Amino acid sequence: MKRLTIYTLFLIFCTFCSAQPALTSAQRFMQKKRGNSLPRLDCRMKSTNATLFNDSEGRFVLVSNDGKTVLGYGDNSATEVPTVIKAMMRQTVPSSKAFTTAIVSPMLTTKHSYNEPYNAYCPYYMDDDSTMSEVRCRVGCVATALEQILTYYRRDVVLLDTLHGWTTRHYTIDDILPGTTVGTKNIRDIYTTADTDEDVHPVAQLGYICAVAARMNFGVTESGASVWRLEEPLKRAFGMKYVHYMDSYQYDTRDWYRIIESELKAGRPVFYAGYTTDINGHAFVIDGLDADGLFHVNWGYGGNFDGYFRLDALNYLFQGNDVGELAISKGYFCNQQAILLCPDSVDTALPDTLARDSLDIVVDSVVFSQPPVTNALTPITVYLRNTTDNYLTTPYEFFTNELADTAFFKQAHYYKLSGISLPPKATGKISIQVKFDTCGVRMFRMSPDDEHIPYECIIDVAEQEQPEVTVVNPTITFPDPFSATFSVSFSNKSTSARFGEMMIYSLADPAAPSRDIRSEYEDVYVAAGDATNGEVTFNNLVPGQTYIIRIRQNWPVIYETTFTMPVVEGIDDVSSETESDLPVRWYTIEGRQVAAPTATGIYIRRQGKTSRKIVVTR
């Protein structure tokens, strides 16, 4: 019989967080929402502009560090903080207040994702060396978002026309023929890898059909597609009576949110997407509103961090690069897109699009903080001004040309996509980091629409050697029994080349060393022959637990060591419980909520305000 060895930790999961204004605001907000006493909150993650808090039941609230703005909240933060939430935490907090509106309860009941078992119909991937992947490609967030909306309507999906396949050197996609049918009434809200093929069949098939409709660029670690591609097949092959693709660039920001609000009040979930500084993106579903004007978001992460968020916070740019699912998506939602859709005809009038002009937003100046070079990031700040009486959201692509180029956009070497939202007559700035890979005299340009060029200047990109940075004098301190601060000096060994790269600090469990359980990110700049300091603090660690900490330059590891958290004093004698006494809330030592333990290991059990470390043995 399985026995549970229990250690009571009297102090575990107390809040150790320096963001006191944010903590106070978060507690008051949760108290207002839950209608109980002032809650006890854990500081889950603190970043440049915001702090993420959890309560003992896994509910979360995301608050600006000054405590003035609630950016999001929800009921399920059990697993690792997803990329998009980390992105929001590093963005400039909007100064405007969210609008007030009638409540629209979340419409979607599904909590689907894009990996197993939802990818059961996706192709395997053949590498360039003809090695076939052991796992199937991911179905992709674009497909997951669309699948969940189609499932919401619970109509049979019957293709009226062919979805044509295609062939690449990595996989082949066959045509999907007219008459192909998926009964969405058979699709469940939640699936696990333990479900049978028969159980998974309808949701996996529908997700795959959506992926083919979007012309998905399939991959094992991530799959991507362009949102605009969906409009045509949704009308032609799916027979949707109401389909509108929209780009936020073409609308007054106030009208944009009124459109989304109107769709939700009419009972129609909205397909939504945004793009990053490195022209990657994420698609999700907006399906509700609260009284304070926060939109309910189903991220497509299996329910993780679904909740209410300020979408205007996603418009603001912050510094950094995106490196996909392996790292933080810094600069999320430079440009936003939506698809309005319904199986039935809809009698509604959309606002007129704006007659945008390239001079609506004026570029006052562009500042290169460092001379442009190869083999290192160059920080660039663009100062902008809205000359109109409209709220404008504008994306910008940044690229270079040879001086002799005449077809600027066709001959361009693209580097970044960015964007900004500006109230009437307001000013703002965009910050990007560019790694130039072509030296010599170039024309640096930016454009909002692949047509107009509001700014250009000649730059001379110097060719420099690849600098080498080393980690010097690493130290680990423990501000409290549940936090570890890692301090380090980065020394540039090159005497002629400056260093500029993104550094990733990551934690792993020695029992599963290949899987990072926490990550923090920092852009590091070091002059030739110089050094600079870096520091990161990881919170909510487990007393007595050993961790691996790594420093990655972009992604390759350049430093690794282990450390053990101090043991909390005040542990009771060992006691035992049988399975019949198990409480409801269980967490792994990394803080991920799980069902009642079924495997040997160390777990955290929470019941009310009491938390216990539990060793499960067989």
Bridge-based pairing state of the strands 281-289 and 270-275: antiparallel
Q: Is 282 a residue of the active site?
A: yes
For residue 117, cis peptide bond before it (omega within 30 degrees of 0): yes
**Structure tokens, 525:** 């700049």
Residue 424's beta-bridge partner residues?
Answer: none
- What distance in Å separates the CA atoms of residue 265 and residue 31, rounded to the nearest whole number? 27
**Structure tokens, 593:** 């909520």
Catalytic hit among 43, 137, 141, 210? 141
- What distance in Å separates the CA atoms of residue 583 and residue 578, rounded to the nearest whole number? 11
CB 333 within 8 A of CB 314: yes
Distances in Å between the Cα of 424 and the Cα atoms of 205, 256, 317, 418 are 47, 15, 18, 20
Sign of CA dihedral 435, 437, 438, 440: positive
- What distance in Å separates the CA atoms of residue 556 and residue 506, rounded to the nearest whole number? 12
| Residue 28 CA, distance from chain mean position | 27
| Residue 534 CA, distance from chain mean position | 24
Q: Where are the alpha helices (DSSP H) in 495-560?
A: none
Nearest to 487 by CA among 439, 436, 538, 529: 538
E strands in 303-391:
307-309, 336-342, 361-368, 378-386
CB 53 within 8 A of CB 63: yes
CB 407 within 8 A of CB 344: no
- What distance in Å separates the CA atoms of residue 486 and residue 482, rounded to the nearest whole number? 13
Question: Which amino acid makes up residue 368?
Answer: F
Catalytic hit among 282, 296, 334, 342? 282
Q: Is 170 a residue of the active site?
A: no
Q: What is the 3-state secondary structure (H, E, C) of 187-203?
A: CCCCCCCCCCHHHHHHH
Q: H/E element holding 25?
A: helix 20-34
Nearest to 76 by CA among 44, 47, 32: 44
Which residues are catalytic, by number?
141, 282
